[in-house]
Amino acid sequence: MLARMSQTDADTLRRAARLAGFDFAAADLEALRPAIERALEALARLERLPLSSVEPVTQYRVI
Amino acid sequence: MASLHWASVADLARLIATKEVSPIEVVRGHLDRIAALDGGLRSFITVCADAALDAARAAEADLAAGRPLGPLHGVPIALKDLFDTAGVRTTGGSKILADRVPAEDATVVRRLRAAGAIVLGKLNMHEFAYGPEGRNAHYGDARNPWDAAEPRIAGGSSSGSGVAVAAGLAPAALGSDTGGSIRIPASLCGITGLKPTYGRVSRAGVLPLAWSMDHAGPMTRSALDAALLLRAMAGYDPGDPTTSVLPVPDYAAALTGSVKGLRIGLLRSLFLDASAPDVREAVERAAKALEELGAHVDEVKLEHVAHVAAASMAIVASEALAYHAEWVRTRPGDYQPDVLERLRAGAFVSGVHYVRGQQVRVLVRAEVDEALAKRDVLLAPATPIAAPRIGENETALGDAMADVRSSLIRLTRPFNFSGHPACALPCGFTAGGLPIGMQVVGRPFDEATVLRVADAYQRATEWHTKHPPLAGR
């Protein structure tokens, strides 16, 4: 089970973005924060689905 | 000949092949109409007038010389401005690619030209296809032609395609659909728009939004016309490894006009029940009409659809940002604000989130397949609302206010997610005269049955024959 991203303050978001290779200004992060919080909450709900035996559609096929 | 701009692709192809009308007359007539009306409608970004007339003259010479003709010989079409068009700027509706001129046609463009179609120009769209409203800060918002009093959105992202076909500026257009971008403008503009099965139509040479959710498809004024275009476009392409080797049937030949004995699953929960009352009533009347034509209609529920929004966001946000990463870093100011916000949100989706999304995809696909194992097609509204005003972020949906953006995409996105073919077509009008659209969803690679249902409904009704007031006569 993924740990919830309980902190979505600007500093946490800035660090998360930097890990992904992006350097967003504080004002931009603040503007993004409500949408990010909603998205992360929705994504967290997916953890409740029975997915442990479901192979994702990301298969690589040589032929 | 009067009203050539309202003629169907099928009729134009026949009239041209039998020399009752000249392709030059057809193309010139459409170019004149574009010149007269598109200043207010803003459906085109680039009009290829000289090239189109040159192609029309060549088409006429072919006719005179008795050379073999393709099924779309001399028929004009227009292309959403993310389909690579050789020698013509292909902007993606963006400032960033404003001067990009590809050397080669996208595969589907090449195939349509080989079938004889003539490109009128490149159509407006939501910037980089990343929005269901069809807004564009660089080239202006395409305007829905159904409301002469108030500016309304055309829907997106294939906004220009929806407007051009609805307003008689082109008999057919190409669109792309990642979360609904063919079906949403089809619904809001009162035309027919087909999102084929994922892998039915090549995406080679099509600017991507999200590779695993993007679909290319035709936007027309009838299911028959969609069938004709799909036949020309579809098929395996080594340039797109996701395309299927399954043979391409003669979709038009499958339009028998009969739905007798066909089993239709009406999607009430999460679809009809999530729609405005007038949309719900129009789709219910459509289901009744199909029953009267001999189909059997029952109700079916897709439980996992409730998870599509989050799961598909993880996929689209990640894939879109992967494509745009360098521009987001170096040219953020060149994006329109809503697109930049959606792109930046992708930075907060982890790899695990992305895989979860692709796992949920398996559940949703299996559920839709199961529903279609006992039925031939599913039926639902295409959009839960009719076209909101430009600039409205919230709109009335029943007794409550709803977010426009998420409302527009809610009912179409599940079938991008699952990959099943889905065709939007008009099924009524609101009291205010705005189109209402429904969608017919079929089994993978069974576009023939989807189009057969749409065509049978269109033979029995007249919604698809109505013309918007802004488009004049």
- The model's pLDDT over B31-68, given as tens digits with 9 standing for 90+, comes to 999 999 999 999 999 999 999 999 999 999 999 999 98
C-alpha to C-alpha distance for B416 and B438, rounded to whole angstroms: 16
Contact B361 A47 (CB under 8 A): no
Query: Quick one: pLDDT band at residue B445, thresholds 50, 70, 90?
Result: very high
Task: For residue B122, indicate whether it is catalytic.
Answer: no
CA distance A62 to chain B (A): 11
For the stretch B415-426, pLDDT in tens is: 999 999 999 999
Rounded to an integer, the average pLDDT of B217-245 is 97
Helical (H) or strand (E) element with A27: helix A26-45
Put simply, the answer to whether A56 touches B362 (Cβ < 8 Å) is: yes
The DSSP bridge partners found for residue B436 are: B428
Give pLDDT tens digits for B112-147. 999 999 999 999 999 999 999 999 999 999 999 999
Chain A: residue whose CA lies nearest to B419: A57
Identify the burial level of B246 via C-beta atoms within 10 angstroms of its C-beta, where 0-12 means exposed, 13-18 middle and 19 or more buried.
Answer: middle
Q: What angle do CA B78, B82, B83 make, to 5 degrees?
A: 60
B363 vs A58: CB contact, 8 Å cut-off?
Answer: no
Of these residues, B80, B94, B275, B418, which one is catalytic? B80
Residue of B nearest to A53 (CA): B359
What's the pTM?
0.97
pLDDT exceeds cutoff 60 at A6:
no
What was the pLDDT predicted at A2?
42
> What is the per-residue pLDDT across B17-40, written as a single tens digit (0 to 9) for each?
999 999 999 999 999 999 999 999
What pLDDT is stored for residue A1 in this prediction? Answer: 38
Q: Which residues of A touch B361 (CB under 8 A)?
A: 56-57
CA-to-CA distance for A37 and A41, rounded, in angstroms? 6
Pick the catalytic residue from B22, B94, B157, B176.
B157
Verify whether the Cβ–Cβ distance B347 to A28 is below 8 Å: no
pLDDT over 60 (residue B369): yes
Residues of chain B above pLDDT 90, percent? 96
Could you give the CA distance from residue B443 to residue B56 in angstroms, rounded to a whole number? Answer: 38
The tokens of B348 are what?
Answer: 């907060």
Does B94 qualify as catalytic in the annotation? no
Nearest-angstrom CA–CA distance, B181 and B194 = 10
